[in-house]
Amino acid sequence: MQIKIQKILKWTATIATAGMAGAVMVASAAYLYLAPLLPAAETYRNVQLETPLRIYTSDRRLIDEIGNRRDPVDYGDIPPLLTDALIATEDLRFYSHPGVDLQSLARGFYGIIRGVNLGGGSTITMQLTNNLSFDSDKVYLRKIKSIPFALQIERELTKEEILTLYLNTAYFGTGADGIGAAAYVYYGKEVNELSLAQAAMMVSLLPCPSACNPLSNPSRAIERRRVRLANMLNQGMINQGEFADADRSPITARRRNRDIEVSAPYVAEMVRQQLFKEHGEKAYSQGFEVITTIDGDKQLVANRALVDGLENYYDKRHGYRGATANYPQELYADLSGDAQQAWIEELQPVPVFGNQQPAIVTSLDALSFEAVLKSGEIAKVEWDGISWANRFNSRNDAWPPPQMASDVVQTGDLIRLRNVNGEWQLGQVPEIQGALVSMSPSNGEIIALVGGYDFRRSQVNRVITPRPPGSNFKPFLYGAALEEGYSAATTINDAPISRGDYRPNNYENNFLGPITLRYALKESRNVPAVRLYDQVGDDKVLAFAAKFGFQTQNFPRNDLTVALGSQDVQPLEIVTAYSAIANGGYKVEPWFIKEISNLADGIVYKATPITVCENCQALINDAAAEIIPAPPIIDPQVAFILNSMLRSVIEEGSGARVNREIGRGDLMGKTGTTNGPQELWFSGFNRDIATTVFVGFDQPEPLGEREQGATVAVPIWIDFMKVALEGMPENTMKRPDGIEDRLINKTTGAPATPGEPDTIFEYFRTENAPTTSGALMPNIDPADEESEELSTETIF
């Protein structure tokens, strides 16, 4: 028996020795293989300051901050309570192990075998290796690599340096890399000013900085903080009184690093893409600051105009589509006894879009209801905020109207509310989308840009997404005709026309016979536009449109639908083209970045935009900055007459609502409506601002048979421009030489004599002015000629 025991012990010792030798050999081989792959100390010892990309309006109001912030601290700046909280939670034997804790590794390995979580086994030093390297590796490979790296770090750095490096490289969520940035972002403090409760909260973030932080999940954050405080208490690092005081402390964290003053997320994304293209990942960490061309006040107005417009001018008119979900009160009462608190928890992950706050209906009366918001506030909605909610049946059918609150909502319904002038109203997130872009015709700078209803819901920037413009394209057809010798008084036959299977029709389903070009454009008659396109020829029309920046090389030839705006163009291309009409026929390019600087080099870029100027050379001589004169692309006489024709649209045509509601004499524009209708447009301008509005579904579908550019796009444009132009004097293109006035018959375009009925004064290029019966307008005194604007009395 004794001999057998001796043999067993001998074999056991032999196997153990062999196993240990094998393990040593494997470990040695792994180390020899991995050692050349490990970073050298000089590559990680010093942590560099990282400052995120910051984007501003032209008046230096913050639009967005992109990237993480890192503000390295020294060991002497770190309070002991912070390192105590870290060690008590993450690595109790930190000061005694050489970077790898075999006991913790064995416990973690045993847990993996048993299928239970007994801790990961990583020391603070091993966690530091993950902060510094191995990001793309799988979990187990990363763990294996971290062992030799941790041993190397322990040989090269002191324990204090390791703690400092760890806290400077850990990610704490909310864009904060390192404890220095985190202390500021969450609490607005220096690291050495953190309280015990705040230090414990910081340490609690480390395993899950996004899901566990006190901003996104306060209740979970408090529980995790309690665990860190309890660990410190158990290790004798704090006493019971300190634990109790810290545990009772309320959450005082709030996000301080992105105090956005002007919301322009679509602009911010355009800037981010541009900076990333030029600088790669460094764009987010090298302290770049970008000054954009965005006018902060006008951007805020544009945001409100588009969001309110899509809700009020389209979505509400088409009826209420119903609640998103229903959470029955009885179910929650059975589960928790507190349905309202359960409803509040259900609301927490539901995002706010536009003006629309998520809420759950808690009670109903005959003509009102109450609902709880995410904040726990109870909102009461009176009948005035409910009565709009006709039942949605289709885009062409919203009926019947509600008679009682219960016709619209039920207790437990997940709905949307919006607050209008202090009163709560039933709402819903629109399915419709849109865009608004505003530009200076003088140099192409983008003044305001909104690429959709809500960037959080959809990042598609519809300002740069091509869609058919419909009649918004017609001014460039009529401009081509003017360039070819036609006049605004030239008549075109509004009569049926067919080319093969194509037979265009007018919106009104009628024909008027011969009408002037001015009248045809004013009333947006389709058949005369097609006939004019056929007469002028697509080569000349498309060549003319190309001067304004349209990519007409992609347009089909011998396709009469081009006359009616059938080819996709961007709203940005449209507003740029209209800007060239507004400024008298000069090509400007859209731009949105004025200046770029960074921490290391200061100013690295300043824009030198193409600029329209009457005496460019004098400005170049006087100005410190370079000025690039804008090239003329059409004759000023053509631009002037086209301006006057687009003024007629505002005075008597499809844009007449602009004239009624803004009442300025310097506004011109054109609506656009495509087949279906599927897209709605309005583009309009004076000499100082050109603005385009687009409305449509992202996946094109009919908007409803009653919709036109005038019903949705025009009122959105008005809501923006009415405020944008406040305090600005009227300003239009100056009348150039080579323009004459003749009295003509308003209907036939034929020369007329004073006293005849139905006459107007029309503008002509001198070479095209009628030479028979007619009368010139009174001559203008040369002293006044320089400041003369378009005469609104002589055109209709």
Query: Which residues contact residue 12 at a Cβ distance below 8 angstroms, ignoring those fewer than 6 apart?
Result: none
Of 90, 311, 523, 679, the active-site residue reads 90
Distance (Å, rounded) from C-alpha 362 to C-alpha 338?
Answer: 12
Fill in the amino acid letter for 733: M
ω before 677 within 30° of 0 (cis)? yes
Distance (Å, rounded) from C-alpha 233 to C-alpha 28?
Answer: 40
Distance (Å, rounded) from C-alpha 45 to C-alpha 796?
Answer: 76
In the chain, count H helices and then E strands: 24, 26
Residue 38 DSSP label: S
Query: Which residues contact residue 680 at a Cβ distance below 8 angstroms, ignoring those fewer than 6 apart?
Result: 671, 672, 673, 694, 695, 696, 703, 707, 708, 709, 711, 712, 713
- Counting every residue written for the chain, the total comes to 796
β-bridge pairing 62-66 and 53-56: antiparallel
The reply to whether 160 belongs to the active site is: no
How many CA atoms are closer than 13 Å to the CA of 764, on its beta-carbon side? 25
Q: How wide is the angle at C-alpha 262 spanned by C-alphas 257 and 264, nearest 5°?
A: 100
Place of tokens 């979990």: 139
The reply to whether 785 belongs to the active site is: no
Place of tokens 């930190």: 94
Q: Which one, of 357, 371, 347, lies nearest residue 419 by Cα?
A: 357
Going along 540-678, which residue ranges are E strands? 593-598, 602-606, 610-611, 628-629, 668-673
Distance (Å, rounded) from C-alpha 449 to C-alpha 268?
Answer: 10
b/e per residue 456-471 (b: at least 16 CB within 10 A): eeeeebbbbbebbbbb
Q: At what angle do helices 240-248 and 218-234 cross, to 10 degrees?
A: 170
Residue 632 DSSP label: B
Q: Which one, of 109, 111, 91, lies nearest residue 99 by Cα?
A: 91
Fill in the amino acid letter for 29: A
Query: Which residues contact residue 211 at a Cβ distance below 8 angstroms, ignoring those fewer than 6 apart?
Result: 217, 220
Distance (Å, rounded) from C-alpha 665 to C-alpha 645?
Answer: 13
Of 471, 487, 579, 683, the active-site residue reads 471
How far from each other are the two terminal CA atoms of the chain, in whole angstroms? 122
Distance (Å, rounded) from C-alpha 772 to C-alpha 641?
Answer: 21
Long-range contacts of 152-156 (CB under 8 A, 24+ apart): 152/35, 152/38, 152/41, 153/41, 153/99, 153/125, 153/128, 153/129, 154/98, 154/99, 154/125, 156/41, 156/45
Structure tokens at 453: 């209803």
Question: φ and ψ at 393, to 5 degrees?
Answer: -115, -40
Whether 447 contacts 437, CB under 8 Å: no
What amino acid positions are annotated as catalytic residues? 90, 471
